[in-house]
Amino acid sequence: MPSGLRSVAVFCGSRPGHNPAYRAAATALGTGLAHAGMRLVYGGGRIGLMGVVADAVLAAGGAVLGVIPEFLCRREIMHDGVMELIVTDSMHSRKLKMFEAADAFVMLPGGLGTLDEVVEIITWRQLGLHDKPVLLCDVAGSAQPIQAALRASIEMGFANADAIELFEVLDGPDATLARLAELQPSQAPANSTRL
C-alpha cells in the first residue's frame, strides 16, 4: 500500500530576504507540510526563512526535526520550540543527518548555504548515491539562477542533457505541496557509506 512521503527536508535562507513573497511562501509550505502529515527536517535555526517555515509547521500542529551543528547553535539562534533537535559536530554531519532523515528535498529561496545544500543533494543524485526527489520551489524567479547554471553546464559539455531531470522546478508552495503529495519514497537504497 502506498504510504507517501513521511519527512521532507527544506533548505532555505537564514535571512528572510527582501521580497515579502519569500516569507509568505515559507509560511504556506510549512503549513501545508503539517496538514499533509509530513515531518519537516531543516537546519534547526529560528532566524530567517528557516525560522518562518519551522514556526508555520509547529503552529499547524506538525512535526519538526532540526539538525544544527554545535558551532552554529548561537549564530543561527537555535530554535528551542522544535520537537526534535539533533546537534552535530560539523556541517558535514549535519548535511548527512538531514539527508538520511528525509524522503525528499525542497529548496525555498536562500543564499549561499541554501545553494550549497541543494547542489550537494543534486550532485549525490547525479552520482547515483540516492534517488530521492528534489523540488525547487520557485518564488518570484528565485529558482532561475540554479536552473541557468545547470543549463550552462550542459551547453558547455560538463553535464549530460538529462541532468536537468535531477530536480523539478515548481511554481510556488501550492504546486510544490501538490507534487509532494503525489510522490512516494524512493525504493532505491541510499548509499550513505559513500557520502
Binding mask 36-75 toward ligand AMP (x if CB under 6 A, else -) reads -------x-x--------------------------x---
List phi, psi (to 5°) of 67. -130, 110
CB of 155 to ligand AMP, least distance (A): 26
**Binder to ligand AMP among 6, 24, 86, 111 (CB under 6 A)?**
111
CB of 165 to ligand AMP, least distance (A): 25
Q: Are 14 and 45 in contact (CB under 8 A)?
A: yes
Binding mask 14-43 toward ligand AMP (x if CB under 6 A, else -) reads xx---------------------------x
**Binder to ligand AMP among 7, 27, 31, 114 (CB under 6 A)?**
114
CB of 31 to ligand AMP, least distance (A): 21
Interface with ligand AMP (CB under 6 A), residue total: 15
**Binder to ligand AMP among 13, 32, 62, 66 (CB under 6 A)?**
13
List phi, psi (to 5°) of 126. -60, -35
Query: Which of 21, 22, 7 has its CA nearest to residue 110?
Result: 22
| Rounded CA separation 42/27 (Å) | 14
**Binder to ligand AMP among 85, 87, 91, 96 (CB under 6 A)?**
91
Give me Rg for the CA atoms of the chain. 16
| Rounded CA separation 134/35 (Å) | 20
Helices H / strands E in the chain, number of each: 6, 7
CB neighbour list of residue 59: distance below 8 Å, 6 or more residues apart: 30, 31, 34
Q: Does 113 bind ligand AMP (CB under 6 A)?
A: yes
- Could you tell me what percentage of the chain is helix, strand and coil, using 3-state DSSP and rounding each to the nearest 5? 45, 20, 35
Q: Does 116 bind ligand AMP (CB under 6 A)?
A: yes
Scanning 21-29, 82-90, 107-115, 129-137 for contacts with ligand AMP by CB under 6 A, the matching segment is 107-115
Q: Which residues bind ligand AMP (CB under 6 A)?
A: 13-15, 43, 45, 72, 76, 91, 110-114, 116-117
